[in-house]
Amino acid sequence: MSRDLTGKRTILTGASGGIGRALATELVKAGTRVALASRNADKLNALASDLKALGGDVIAVPTDVTNPDDRRHLVDAAVSAFGGLDLLVNNAGVGSWGHFADSTEEICRTVMEVNFFGPIELTRLAVPHLTAGNQAAVVNVTSMCGRKGMPAWPEYSASKFALVGMSEAWRAEFARFDVDVLTIVPGMTDSGFQNNWLRTDGKADLRFDAGMTPEYLAAKIVSAIRKNRTETVVGSEARRLLRFNRYFPRLTNWLIARKVKKLYSK
């Protein structure tokens, strides 16, 4: 199936910066009507103004995806403004860069609330509207950490694994509603994501400046939505790692563990 995005009624979470901002722009250029959601109201309203200047049909709905009332208001606002819903793009996320042994339950629960429970409960609210939509789809922006858990990213990896697993379960369940479920698996992106981590004490040379640009990733996501691709791995680093892990899992684990030992032996 080829999905025509013109006029598609869309909710996009995590819209105010980085990947979300680039994705909002790309969706508007593709002709979708977008309910922009994020916690930062000032940035969200500024983005909405910029997109309206481009001719976009958008609304700004300040939303904390971990808040049940906010989630309900977001869905209601989008449906009221656009007369229905065709696309839900779960993009909001938070990271924590540090090792599990000296992390906390609070960090683990926060990451899971933002990256997993928030998106799935938002989807639960959106499904009744998506079933009446046109070429409807749920799009979950995950991570290569959702296919290969990485050291110093334990909570983040677990949350993204959970979202990938839920996506796979939904895919069969939602087929009876004619609602597609698409999973995006990006590698390292120079999106400013590291500026909002809950912890920053992990050890490794993370070169985000050498990663993909948000604009490149956003274009790939919109292309995947158009082509209705079930799962899309984006970025050469992510493709190499996941391919190597598929064929040589024990060697991959050994190499990663050796690197961690070297980092902490200094």
What is the pLDDT, as a whole number, of residue 207?
67
Tell me, yes or no, if 264 is annotated catalytic: no
Which among 156, 216, 247, 264 is annotated as catalytic?
Answer: 156
Helices (H) and strands (E) in the chain, counts: 9, 7
According to CATH, the topology of domain 9-239 is: Rossmann fold (3.40.50)
Report which of 34, 62, 63 is spatially closest to residue 50, judged by C-alpha positions: 34
Collect all residues with Cβ–Cβ distance below 8 Å to 121 and sequence separation of at least 6.
Answer: 68, 71
Domain locations along the chain: 9-239
Report which of 114, 129, 7, 116 is spatially closest to residue 75, judged by C-alpha positions: 129
Blockwise average pLDDT, block size 10, the chain, 266 residues: 95 94 97 97 96 96 98 98 98 92 95 98 98 98 95 94 98 97 92 75 69 93 98 95 95 92 79
> Is the pTM above the cut of 0.75?
yes
Lateral strand order in the sheet of 180-186: 58-62, 33-38, 9-12, 87-90, 137-141, 180-186, 231-234
What is the pLDDT, as a whole number, of residue 208?
65
